[in-house]
């Protein structure tokens, strides 16, 4: 009896609301019932037509009233049906779970809740984008990262110039952030070779994506297959498939404009100067269609955090991307950096960041700006950055949302959990739907 009770306790959680199991279990029981009726008619015919020894009457419980017999046989049938259902699913799914502990109603419930989570598109690049993805994946699996392809420095730049690939660095970081096994995948993908002819300085993740592009025949197909191999919860897409170059007009001390070509050179030449405008060459590149589709179907669109001129804006400089963001009915948020970036945003406050987006992509791109309101007295380390201050005057053209977004260990960077919670709370306030962290 105790063993049956323990078995029932193991099965009962699978019948909890929200797992979408009971409906199929009912269908299964209906099918079993019809099969049982057919067998019952057959057995009754055989039983009436023949003569059987005494032990058959004992086995069929003929000494009990028929209602009691029906109840006993029905209860035993239900127990065996549920037991077989759970164990069959355990056997079928065992190749896809890491351990027996992973096969539980709690894990399955969390999986289903994440699949029903909001559709969120994140736009950007650099080191800021993985941070927001890392926080949001606790609420939903419906994440799409749209990544800039203007990177031309380091390992990515070498692969771009040598193989004609889209720069894989930002894709590598975001795939790792969305992977189920984030810790080990991040460590593996970030590993850089320190010796070897042609390998020195290359990140393993960049070489992996280059190899996948070669195996599958295209960079975008390599991204798709990599998402499957790495069990990525979401998608990572390029803003465009064209090999674009980021160009900046930088204003010097005398007010003259200096033209700088190359994403990696802009912060270097922008030090101590003001970036007047950035644009892409060639102009008007075609957007990646899946990126447009994701934006138009999104519940929330998040740009940033990250380098304003070299990570966030290059995506919005693809005309179709900016047009899709404006046309989308989603809640649109720009997440402002906590600290200024040398060579790009020195002296900028929150409103300066927001105005730069308006200057490049037009008005109405974002309805909300999320900014940090916990300003430390001690400046950021290095002596070249400063905290991004809140606007001195009421903002115009957007609604400012503030919260303590600082990482506890590195207060000049965003804490993924705090940032995600602020974004989800904003989405809930606008839509009236509540989303819980899983």
Rounded to whole angstroms, the Cα distance separating 295 from 334 reads 15
Could you tell me which of 342, 327, 321, 334 has the C-alpha nearest to residue 385? 342
Rounded to whole angstroms, the Cα distance separating 233 from 137 reads 7
Rounded to whole angstroms, the Cα distance separating 169 from 174 reads 9
Question: Over the stretch 367-409, which tens digit does the pLDDT of each residue have?
Answer: 999 999 998 878 888 778 999 999 988 888 899 999 999 999 9
The residue assigned the tokens 């916990």 is 374
The residue assigned the tokens 């609420």 is 139
CA angle 275, 279, 282 (to 5 degrees): 150
Q: Are 178 and 133 within 8 A, CB to CB?
A: yes
Rounded to whole angstroms, the Cα distance separating 127 from 134 reads 11
Lowest mean pLDDT among 31-45, 140-154, 198-212: 31-45
Q: Are 328 and 298 within 8 A, CB to CB?
A: yes
Q: Look up residue 379 and give its DSSP letter.
A: P
Q: Are 329 and 430 within 8 A, CB to CB?
A: no
Q: Are 309 and 348 within 8 A, CB to CB?
A: no
Whole-number pLDDT of residue 164 = 85
Residue 279 neighbours by CB under 8 Å, 6+ apart:
246, 247, 317
Q: Which one is predicted more confidently, 271 or 319?
A: 319
Whole-number pLDDT of residue 110 = 55
Bridge partner list, 179 = 232
Lowest mean pLDDT among 278-287, 337-346, 375-384: 375-384
* Residue ranges of the chain that CATH labels 3.40.50.10680: 117-149+239-431
Greatest alpha-carbon span in the chain:
113
Question: Over the stretch 295-322, which tens digit does the pLDDT of each residue have?
Answer: 999 999 999 999 999 999 999 999 999 9
Q: In the predicted model, is pLDDT for residue 12 greater than 80?
A: no
Rounded to whole angstroms, the Cα distance separating 86 from 71 reads 23
Q: For the sheet containing 257-261, what is the strand order?
A: 257-261, 245-251, 274-281
Q: Look up residue 123 and give its DSSP letter.
A: E
Rounded to whole angstroms, the Cα distance separating 172 from 368 reads 29
Would you state the structure tokens that stand for residue 173, as one six-digit string?
Answer: 């970081």
The CATH homologous superfamily of the domain defined by 117-149+239-431: CofD-like domains (3.40.50.10680)
Rounded to whole angstroms, the Cα distance separating 146 from 330 reads 16
Question: Over the stretch 62-101, which tens digit does the pLDDT of each residue have?
Answer: 777 878 877 887 788 777 777 776 776 666 555 555 445 5
In 218-375 the beta strands, taken as DSSP E runs, fall at 235-238, 245-251, 257-261, 274-281, 300-303, 331-335, 368-372
Whole-number pLDDT of residue 297 = 97
pLDDT band at 105 (very low <50, low <70, confident <90, very high): low
Phi and psi for 258 in degrees, rounded to 5? -110, 125
Would you state the structure tokens that stand for residue 174, as one six-digit string?
Answer: 């975001």
Could you tell me which of 138, 136, 143, 132 has the C-alpha nearest to residue 113? 138
Q: Is 375 helix (H, G, I), strand (E, B) or coil?
A: coil
Rounded to whole angstroms, the Cα distance separating 123 from 361 reads 14
Whole-number pLDDT of residue 120 = 97
Judged on CB neighbours under 10 Å (0-12, 13-18, 19+), 53 is exposed
- The model carries a pTM of 0.78
Whole-number pLDDT of residue 15 = 62
Phi and psi for 108 in degrees, rounded to 5? -65, -40
Whole-number pLDDT of residue 188 = 85
Lowest mean pLDDT among 81-95, 98-112, 195-209: 98-112
Would you state the structure tokens that stand for residue 1, as one six-digit string?
Answer: 């009896």
Could you tell me which of 51, 273, 19, 235 has the C-alpha nearest to residue 137? 235
């Amino acid at each position: 009896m105790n063993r049956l009770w323990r078995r029932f306790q193991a099965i009962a959680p699978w019948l909890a609301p929200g797992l979408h199991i009971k409906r199929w279990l009912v269908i299964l029981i209906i099918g079993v019932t019809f099969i049982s009726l057919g067998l019952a008619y057959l057995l009754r015919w055989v039983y009436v037509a023949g003569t059987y020894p005494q032990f058959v009457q004992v086995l069929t419980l003929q000494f009990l009233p028929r209602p009691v017999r029906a109840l006993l046989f029905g209860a035993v049938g239900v127990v065996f049906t549920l037991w077989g259902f759970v164990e069959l699913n355990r056997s079928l799914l065992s190749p896809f779970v890491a351990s027996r502990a992973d096969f539980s109603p709690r894990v399955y419930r969390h999986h289903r809740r994440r699949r029903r989570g909001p559709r969120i598109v994140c736009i950007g690049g650099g080191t800021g984008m993985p941070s927001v993805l890392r926080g949001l994946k606790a609420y939903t699996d419906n994440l799409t990262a749209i990544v800039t392809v203007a990177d031309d420095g380091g390992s990515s730049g070498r692969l771009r110039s040598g193989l004609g690939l889209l720069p894989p660095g930002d894709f590598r970081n975001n795939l790792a952030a969305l992977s189920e096994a984030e810790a080990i995948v991040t460590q593996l993908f970030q590993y850089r070779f320190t010796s070897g002819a042609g390998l020195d300085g290359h990140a393993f993740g960049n070489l992996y994506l280059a190899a996948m592009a070669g195996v599958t025949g295209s960079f975008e197909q390599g991204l798709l297959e990599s998402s499957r191999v790495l069990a990525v919860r979401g998608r990572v897409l390029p803003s465009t498939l064209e090999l674009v170059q980021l160009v900046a007009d930088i204003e010097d001390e005398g007010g003259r404009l200096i033209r700088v070509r190359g994403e990696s050179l802009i912060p270097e030449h922008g030090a101590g100067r003001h970036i007047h405008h950035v644009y892409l060459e060639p102009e008007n590149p075609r957007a990646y269609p899946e990126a447009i589709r994701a934006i138009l179907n999104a519940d929330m669109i998040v740009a940033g955090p990250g380098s304003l001129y070299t990570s966030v804006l290059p995506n919005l400089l693809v005309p179709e991307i900016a047009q899709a963001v404006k046309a989308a009915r989603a809640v649109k948020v720009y997440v402002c950096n906590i600290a200024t970036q040398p060579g790009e945003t020195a002296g900028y406050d929150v409103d300066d960041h927001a105005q730069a987006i308006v200057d490049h992509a037009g008005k109405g791109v974002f309805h909300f700006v999320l900014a940090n309101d916990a300003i430390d007295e001690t400046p950021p380390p290095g002596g070249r950055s400063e905290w991004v201050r809140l606007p001195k005057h009421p903002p115009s053209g957007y609604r400012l949302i503030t919260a303590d977004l600082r990482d506890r260990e590195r207060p000049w960077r965003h804490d993924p959990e705090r940032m995600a919670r602020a974004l989800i709370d904003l989405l809930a306030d606008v839509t009236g739907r509540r989303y819980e962290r899983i």
